[in-house]
């Protein structure tokens, strides 16, 4: 899951978060059951169609959020190519793109609060047997929230580098991006501690 809720209003935003998470689980499982490149390509085309249904602005916004996936897809493709399995590499890259795009679609059409409540209900059986699920309930929304923030910081660092150098930033932004992420994580940890930590009353 990459982006936050889309500013473009869609019908999917009125659907229950639990139903969307269940559909995501089923669709992702189906992706891993599809054999070969062509079925995966058809699945990806179907995902792109889902992005296009709410309109051009929604489509552009969603596809823009998926740009960080292209290097990963390329690495998967090249790695399998080096082992002589280009078809497997294409299928895996397409599968990853489709799965993450579907997850991104869920976050674009679901508020963090709705996702948190859905996760809280899904984890209820584990809570009843005494497992501390509060950490997981807090971690998932934090990951969803931090991902676009980190992507935005990476873009800002890249723009700052290009303003000072004609060369591409490449690996040079990794260290400041890492330090910034650690600083943000430290601030979030302090804020959580100030509010009593991650454990909910029933888990204490």
Whether residue 11 is contained in a domain is answered as no
Q: What is the dihedral of CA 197, 202, 203, 204, to 10 degrees?
A: 70
DSSP state of 175: H
Residue 76 CB coordination number (10 Å): 20
DSSP letters spanning 63-123: HHHTTTHHHHHHHHHHHHHHTT-HHHHHHHHHHHHHHHHHHHHHHHTS-HHHHHHHHHHHT
The two tokens of residue 53 are: 């249904």
Q: Indicate the residue among 111, 144, 170 that finishes a domain.
A: 111
Do 107 and 136 lie in a common domain? no
- The Cα angle at residue 101 between residues 139 and 5, in degrees rounded to 5: 60
Domain termination residue (choose one: 111, 144, 168): 111
Q: In the chain, how many domains are there? A: 2
Are the beta carbons of 103 and 17 closer than 8 angstroms?
A: no
Does any domain span residue 10? no
Give the pLDDT confidence of 71-129 residue by residue, as tens digits: 788 888 888 888 888 998 899 999 999 999 999 899 889 887 888 888 888 888 888 88
pLDDT at 62 over 90: no
Q: Structural domain of residue 170, as residue ranges?
A: 132-195
pTM for the model: 0.70
Is the CB of residue 170 less than 8 Å from the CB of residue 159? no
Q: What does the pLDDT read at residue 1?
A: 45
Tokens matching residue 194:
């100030």
User: What pLDDT, in 10s, does the model give residues 3-33?
Assistant: 566 777 888 888 998 899 899 999 999 999 9
pLDDT of 201 reads 45
Domain end: 111, 144, 166, which one? 111
In terms of pLDDT, which residue wins out, 142 or 164? 164
Of all residues in the chain, what percent carry a pLDDT higher than 90? 19
Assign 41 a pLDDT band (cuts: 50, 70, 90): very high
């Amino acid at each position: 899951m990459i982006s936050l809720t889309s500013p473009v209003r869609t019908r999917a935003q009125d659907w229950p978060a639990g139903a969307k998470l269940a559909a995501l689980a089923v669709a992702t499982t189906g992706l891993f059951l599809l054999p070969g490149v062509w079925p995966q390509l058809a699945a990806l085309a179907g995902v792109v169609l889902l992005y296009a249904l709410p309109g051009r602005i929604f489509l552009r916004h969603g596809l823009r959020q998926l740009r960080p996936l292209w290097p990963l897809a390329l690495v998967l493709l090249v790695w399998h190519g080096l082992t002589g399995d280009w078809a497997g590499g294409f299928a895996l890259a397409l599968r990853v793109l489709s799965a993450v795009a579907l997850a991104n679609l869920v976050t674009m059409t679901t508020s963090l609060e709705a996702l948190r409540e859905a996760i809280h209900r899904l984890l209820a059986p584990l809570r009843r047997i005494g497992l501390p699920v509060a950490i997981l309930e807090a971690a998932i929304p934090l990951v969803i929230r931090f991902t676009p923030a980190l992507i935005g910081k990476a873009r800002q660092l890249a723009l700052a580098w290009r303003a000072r150098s004609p060369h591409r930033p490449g690996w040079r932004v990794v260290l400041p991006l890492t330090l910034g992420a650690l600083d943000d994580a430290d601030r979030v940890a302090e804020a959580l501690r100030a509010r009593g930590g991650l454990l909910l009353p029933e888990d204490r």
